[in-house]
Structure 1
Amino acid sequence: MDALLEIADTYVLDTIYNQLALLIAPVALPQDDSSLSNVTAATNSLFSTGAWQTRSYIPRQILSLSILMLLGAHILYFLFASFSYYFIFSHKMMHHPRFLPNQISLEIKTSLKAFPLMMLLTLPWFLAEVRGWSKLYNNVSDHWGGWWYLVGSVAAFLLFTDYCIYWIHRWLHHPLLYKPLHKLHHRWIIPTPFASYAFHPVDGYLQSVPYHLFVFLVPMHRYLYLGLFFAVNFWTILIHDSDMITGHPLENIINGPAHHTLHHIYFTVNYGQYFTWADRAGQSYRHPDTSLDPLLEVKMHSESLKEGKAKPE
């Protein structure tokens, strides 16, 4: 996020804060009212032109990050989810008997309600990045491993976050946590891409922690991390498209949409985010066999409805 904030500062926010600083320039202090004078002095200090023009000013960083997070969350959500919904998601799934009335609207409303608190919980991580407390670095040459390390850090990021999310996700299915936190997300038994962030906000935040934690433990190129952040968001949406395409050579390795579709249907299988290895080790893996395709149930349901209409009264 520090890379994104730097870009936003350079091209947009510096200008905005300069203009705002002029609008809220310090006012003259009254001479006869000491209490009002103290309040005005404090206000002048908080909104002083020099402070808000400084990128390292913490209130400015908090405000900027909050704006970027909320705008970014909404843009990425609607952009990626809409793309997946219109070009990947099978609309036949909406005729599944367990697809809820007005489900897409409910998924979107749940996501939008979750965003503000999720962003608030995530803000300290991003602020710590911006303040320079993470292990993010600027140039490939800044790390002794160079390009080899850059490539290796991608593998480390994926393996670390996948394994951590596996356990966080599995713990969220514990009876003590499932009902108050995770049950809401499993309301969508046949999810659409818009269900990807239809979480309880604490649930969504907990599953995001490994992404933030990684760069405080392991050095990573800042722009690579930003790219992975966008990729992770797209993947999270993609695996909620209820796709059950099977038979491809990577399905034994990659925990894709078919695997996650089975997770929503059967609840206690395929907790992983990217790979199947953690589920295999944890004995929670279920292979996406074609016989488990929910589209088969859609066809059966459709045929039963036709038969019911065809019966004479």
Structure 2
Amino acid sequence: MDIFLDVLDTFILDRCYAFLSPDPTAILKDGSLTAPELNRHVKVYYPLQPSKWAEASLWKRDDLSRQALSLYLITWLFAMIMYLLGSLVLYHTLFDKRLLRHPRFLANQIKLEINQGISAIPTITLLTVPFFIAEIRGWSKLYDFTSQSPFWGYTLLQYPLFICFTDSGIYWIHRGLHHPLVYRWLHKPHHKWAVPTPFASYAFHPLDGWSQSLPYHIFPMIFPLQKVAYLGLFVFVTMWTVLIHDAEYLPTSEIINGASCHTMHHLYFNYNYGQFTTAWDRLGGTYRKPKGDAFMEAKPEHGKIEGKRD
């Protein structure tokens, strides 16, 4: 996020903040003459000079409130684009349209999913910003280049390590959200969609969606992670969240927790809590093998593990 912030400050945000909160004592000057620490994150990769507006606002770049607002706007916009565009593309390409005739598909469901998703994203973003603040202020273990990795081979190891750590964390958080003490208040809104579409991927209660994203943000606080890998994984997990709701049942892997596995969770409630793999479901006794086309005749089934659906 620090690199993105440098770039957006240079091309867009510096001028916006200078307009909203101008510094009457500031003198506009060529970017090369501004404070040398500006754009220090992106300069590691490219010698991008700050704009002449870089110091023209009372709200300086290192101001905590300015950073928080900028990160909020960036994250909110990114999440909205990824959610709506990704869901739209998958709906018109991979989504199994037979589900629209499923007996448990709700009237106006897609509109309801979109409304809930759009409503949840602002709060999820607000709760996520502190993690990004920590990252740009150097409180994480993110690093720039392969040469800075802890040891040889870690550049490749970081990917499966990230998947394993987050898959485990999300499994236990997700399973905990099915506990009767919290399910009705937090997770039940997402299970309104017994037969989800890609638009259900963000149709959560905000605290539900945020809690399940925690492992992604905790990982770089504990483990080293290259910034380029972090960016790629951030895009990947965002799209994966949409993909497991796309109802494409052709891949029936018993290892990967794809859409077929996740739809079993929506239909039968107390199974397949995992995010990427079925490993923790198998260890925890909560794995249920996808049923193929039998999902079209699926009937409601009350929970037997952490409580009933309602």
Q: Do they fold alike, i.e. is TM over 0.5?
A: yes
| AA at the equivalent of 1:11 | F
**2:245 is equivalent to residue 240 of structure 1:** yes
Q: How far 1:294 moved relative to its partner? A: 2.0
Provide the residue aligned with 2:273 in structure 1.
271
Higher normalized helix content (fraction of residues): 1
The whole-number CA distance in structure 2 between the counterparts of 1:150 and 1:9 is 30
CA contact (8 A) 1:246 1:290 kept: no
The whole-number CA distance in structure 2 between the counterparts of 1:297 and 1:122 is 36
The whole-number CA distance in structure 1 between the counterparts of 2:212 and 2:270 is 16
Q: Aligned in 2, Cα 1:279/1:88: closer, same or farther, shift over 3 Å?
A: same
Note the 1:97-116 alignment, pairs <5 A: 97-116=103-122
**2:186 is equivalent to residue 181 of structure 1:** yes
Provide the residue aligned with 1:253 in structure 2.
255
CA contact (8 A) 2:128 2:210 kept: yes
Q: Which runs of 5+ in 1 are unaligned?
A: 27-47, 299-313
Q: How far 1:60 moved relative to its partner? A: 1.5
The whole-number CA distance in structure 2 between the counterparts of 1:246 and 1:211 is 25
CA contact (8 A) 1:190 1:265 kept: yes
Q: Aligned in 2, Cα 1:144/1:170: closer, same or farther, shift over 3 Å?
A: closer
Counterpart of 1:223 (choices 228, 235, 243) is 228
Provide the residue aligned with 2:282 in structure 1.
280
Q: Does 1 or 2 have the higher relative contact order (CA < 8 Å, sep 6+)?
A: 1
The whole-number CA distance in structure 1 between the counterparts of 2:149 and 2:298 is 53
CA contact (8 A) 1:246 1:288 kept: no
| AA at the equivalent of 2:267 | I
Q: Which runs of 5+ in 2 are unaligned?
A: 26-54, 300-310
Q: Secondary structure at the match of 1:55?
A: coil
CA offsets, 1:263-297, max 9 Å, x none?
00000000000001100000000111326x32356
CA contact (8 A) 1:193 1:241 kept: yes
Single out whichever of 194-203 and 60-69 deviates more from structure 2: 60-69
CA contact (8 A) 2:14 2:57 kept: no
**2:133 is equivalent to residue 127 of structure 1:** yes
CA contact (8 A) 1:4 1:226 kept: no
| AA at the equivalent of 2:116 | T
Note the 1:36-185 alignment, pairs <5 A: 49=56, 51-52=58-59, 54-146=60-152, 148-185=153-190
Q: How far 1:246 moved relative to its partner? A: 4.4
% identical aligned pairs: 47
Provide the residue aligned with 2:208 in structure 1.
203
CA contact (8 A) 2:251 2:258 kept: no
Q: Secondary structure at the match of 2:202?
A: coil
TM-score (norm 1): 0.82
Q: How far 1:113 moved relative to its partner? A: 1.1
Q: Aligned in 2, Cα 1:228/1:125: closer, same or farther, shift over 3 Å?
A: same
CA offsets, 1:60-110, max 9 Å, x none?
101111110111111111111111111110112111111000000000001
Single out whichever of 154-163 and 236-245 deviates more from structure 2: 236-245
CA RMSD of aligned residues (A): 2.0
